[in-house]
């Protein structure tokens, strides 16, 4: 009888302990305890309710996603920015010059030129670094050091030089075979073309608006880049220097 009473008491005590440990007072929340952030299933446990921000759909996960590429519409060309050719000269120079004058009232003025310099062959002898080969001969085809072309733009009244540029290392210029020069001054100008041991073609372009009283229908016109680029070669120009062994 006593053994049965003891068993009943043990059972009652056990039930009371289980009930007290699992009891939750209404309105209270239990602490979630430590959260393993590496576990994808518990990611929502560390998200706080939005207070200063607005929840939105992540980029790329919505039903409609805007394209990551933007199509840039072509630049609208303004008719007033069109330039027309007012003069062209082609000459083989041998320390001679030609010149024109033009009253530029609506800049810019563009001067485009293409040159065909003279070539020379230079022979050089050097010692080969390979044992037993001895001396080697190197033939170099290059532009003539005395081949140059120069354009000078100056004020007709004062002689002030607004631009002086061209082709040829003899004058300290580049070896671009085709270039477009840009003049931004407003003045009555003299444009000089000179050179030596070279054939050059040069054209002068200006805006008709403010510069020309009329533009003949056969006049060639075009739109130049805001910053004209230089070119190393053209079909009518001398090829880039080459090396021969």
How far apart, in Å, are the Cα atoms of 198 and each of 2, 34, 121, 170, 245?
131, 85, 16, 12, 27
Phi, psi torsion values for 170, nearest 5 degrees: -60, -25
The 8-class DSSP code of residue 177 comes to: S
Terminal Cα distance for the chain, rounded? 122
Tens-binned pLDDT, residue by residue, of the chain (245 aa) = 556 565 666 677 666 665 555 555 555 545 555 555 445 555 445 555 555 555 555 555 455 445 555 566 656 666 667 899 999 999 999 999 999 999 999 999 999 999 999 998 888 777 777 777 777 777 878 899 999 999 999 999 999 999 999 999 999 999 999 999 999 999 999 999 999 999 999 999 999 999 988 877 778 888 887 666 554 433 333 444 444 44
Q: Cβ–Cβ contacts within 10 Å for residue 84, how many?
A: 17
Report the C-alpha gap between 99 and 94 in whole angstroms: 15
Structure tokens at 54: 């607005």
- List the beta strands (DSSP E) in 53-211: 83-104, 109-117, 119-127, 135-143, 148-155, 161-167, 178-183, 187-206
Nearest to 242 by CA among 54, 210, 233, 107: 233
CA atoms within 13 A on the CB side of 125: 2
Q: Is 45 left (phi over 0), alpha (psi -120 to 50) or beta?
A: alpha
pLDDT at position 182? 94
pLDDT at position 125? 77
| pTM of the predicted model as reported, rounded to 2 decimal places | 0.59
> Where are the domains positioned within the chain?
82-148+172-182+199-244
């Amino acid at each position: 009888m006593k053994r049965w009473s003891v068993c009943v008491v043990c059972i009652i005590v056990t039930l009371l302990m289980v009930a007290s440990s699992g009891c939750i007072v209404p309105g209270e929340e239990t602490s979630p305890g430590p959260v393993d952030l590496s576990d994808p299933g518990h990611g929502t446990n560390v998200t706080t309710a939005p207070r200063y921000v607005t929840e939105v759909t992540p980029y790329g996960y919505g039903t409609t996603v805007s394209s990551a590429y933007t199509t840039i519409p072509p630049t609208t060309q303004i008719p007033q920015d069109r330039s027309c050719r007012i003069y062209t000269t082609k000459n083989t120079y041998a320390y001679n010059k030609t010149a024109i004058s033009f009253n530029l009232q609506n800049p810019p003025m563009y001067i485009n030129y293409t040159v065909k310099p003279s070539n020379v062959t230079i022979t050089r002898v050097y010692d080969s670094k390979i044992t037993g080969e001895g001396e080697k001969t190197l033939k170099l085809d290059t532009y003539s050091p005395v081949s140059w072309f120069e354009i000078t733009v100056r004020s007709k009244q004062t002689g002030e030089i607004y631009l002086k540029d061209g082709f040829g290392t003899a004058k300290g210029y580049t070896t671009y075979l085709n270039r477009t020069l840009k003049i931004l001054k407003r003045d009555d100008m003299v444009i000089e073309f000179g050179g030596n041991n070279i054939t050059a073609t040069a054209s002068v372009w200006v805006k008709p608006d403010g510069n020309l009283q009329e533009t003949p229908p056969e006049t060639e016109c075009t739109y130049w880049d805001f910053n004209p680029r230089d070119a190393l070669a053209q079909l009518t120009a001398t090829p880039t220097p080459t090396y021969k062994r």
